Amino acid sequence: MKLCLRLLPLLALAATTMAQVSIVSTSPTNNQTNVALSTTITITFNTALDTNAIKMQEDFAFTNIQSPEEPYYSSDATQFKANVQLQSNTAYFIAFMYAKALNGSTMASPYVFYFTTGSSFPSTTVSGTVSSGTTGVSPENGVIGLNTFDITSDGGDGDGGDDGPDFAMMTKLNSDGTFTIPYVSNGTYWPIAAKDVNGDGKIDPESGTDVIALGDSIVVSGSNVTGVALTFIKITPFLFSEALTEANGLAASLPSGSVLKYVQSYDMDTLGRGRQWEFDYHSPSTSQFFGIRISGFEQRVDSLNPDWYSWLSSLTNLTNPQNAASSSTVIANVEAAGGKAFRTQTGMGQSQFQIQATLGDQSNSRFWYLSPDPAKQYWGIAYTWYQQNDTNWITIEEKGFLCDFSTGAVVVSGTPTGVDEQPVVVPVSPSLEQNYPNPFNPTTTIEFSLQERALVKLTVYNVLGEVVAVLVDGAQSAGTHRLVFDAKGLPSGMYMYRLTTGSAVKSGKMLLVR
């Protein structure tokens, strides 16, 4: 489960050479027994932390504690704290993966400690070796955990793995790759090992740099499990042509007459390689929508919610995707036409950068402000600086490019406001839709639309008027935005959500039923 604000589908670690940040003590202490069921986790560092930088890493800690409260820091920023409610006779771990000091230094390696609410720990262990394989990457400063489900097939809730790992226990790898995971309860687990190779604070194997190792399932039943062997691999992102080949093979399983409408890549590098590609299809005969997702971890077909994807039916068919310009050519052209300057600009603080690519009819897409010809199809490229809260992206600054379908040449570029400028508050009249589903448990979608780019705040309140979540707080582009509110840990009851843009305020009510 998750201790920090938000954990994405993969791990986040730190393994840089700047070994100036260290953990000097923890409470509970390592291997402590009889820990109170209601307690405060305290991790004390040797220096004041850059708390904003840590929050921007998203994945700075893992734990098997269920539903901890929001973590916080001491006034001098030397202590990380979290109030937790624990279960009786249960062994816990906390793996602190990343920390950054105000002087810019980071942790040299992950730090893992254990405690239990019982009088003793489970005696069962899982041991084995993680090898470098063809990656040449040393296992030192890597970690290995026992996940409760197979991330290559499902996320534990039937959605294909989108919720990420859920570790029951974890440990560090020794320098030679050997490991012993202690205090393992009976159950079926899937070992996962990983290492941050480039030291950027995230394990991101789909970037082609960091490494991961996925093991077959193991069963722990009253005795130690030994000889578990895993091998690190690197996952190379897909160029469009490579992803298209994979998607064409899976498309044969779709209903007869299904047509390709749109292609998207959510996280692309400057070589034109996407970590995940989505090919969206419409079946007119069955009124269904399908998404074929291609990544280094999986190739799968998903049924898409028609309420969310009905807009695809209005797009012209993408009939000859094999004739589109290569994604590498497109990105090279965008980089030369101002993308690189936008990407490397200074003064973005703790913001993060991402490239998103789409292919197809852009007349009803996020690139409408660039006035695409509805009779043509384009490559659409969005260069985006963003920040992340616990549930959503907050766009800070964005620049879009429309590129010729067949040549990849940049046709037009601009920002969502039409000019290259910082976001400003503008007088807009937003629309705020009723959340769906409603009633809900525990997640629901909230949709709002903007006529122009604006500073937006979307807040959720309980019946006492207390803020329980801030879903958006920053500049948002014109168009429709859909956000997911996760009420995990909140009691049943009525909640209100309020959208504020400038002087305009819209609100709605929603009911959480457990």
Task: Give the SS3 label for residue 272.
Answer: coil
Answer whether residue 190 shows pLDDT above 80.
yes
The confidence band for 448, taking pLDDT boundaries of 50, 70 and 90, is confident
CA distance 342 to 113: 42
Please name every residue paired with 79 in a beta bridge, in sequence order, or none if there are none: 44
How many C-beta neighbours within 10 Å does residue 92 have?
A: 21
HEC profile for 388-442? ECCCCEEEEEEEEEEEECCCCCEEEEECCCCCCCCCCCCCCCCEECCCECCCECC
Burial (CB count <10 Å: 0-12, 13-18, 19+), residue 447: middle
Domain boundaries, the chain: 19-231, 240-414, 431-512
Instruction: Report, as an integer, the average pLDDT of 340-352.
Output: 83
- In degrees, rounded to 5, the angle at the alpha carbon of residue 417 between the alpha carbons of residues 412 and 421 is 95
The confidence band for 97, taking pLDDT boundaries of 50, 70 and 90, is confident
pTM: 0.61
Pair 128, 230: CB distance under 8 Å: yes
- Give DSSP secondary structure letters for 451-499: SS-EEEEEEEE-TTS-EEEEEEEEEE-SEEEEEEEE-TTPPSEEEEEEE
pLDDT digits (tens, 9 = 90+) for 358-384: 999 998 787 888 889 989 999 999 998
Instruction: Report, as an integer, the average pLDDT of 79-92.
Output: 94
Residue 429 pLDDT = 64
The confidence band for 83, taking pLDDT boundaries of 50, 70 and 90, is very high
**For the ranges 65-69, 81-85, 506-510, the one whose mean pLDDT is highest:** 81-85
Radius of gyration of the chain (CA): 24
Secondary structure element (H or E) that encloses residue 333, with its range: helix 327-334
Instruction: Report, as an integer, the average pLDDT of 422-429.
Output: 39
Instruction: Report, as an integer, the average pLDDT of 120-143.
Output: 95
CATH class of the structural domain 19-231: mainly beta
The confidence band for 428, taking pLDDT boundaries of 50, 70 and 90, is very low
Q: How far apart are the first and last CA of the chain?
A: 20
Instruction: Report, as an integer, the average pLDDT of 296-316.
Output: 84
Answer whether residue 14 shows pLDDT above 60.
no
Q: Matching CATH topology for 19-231 and 431-512?
A: yes
Statement: 431-512 belongs to CATH 2.60.40.1930 = yes
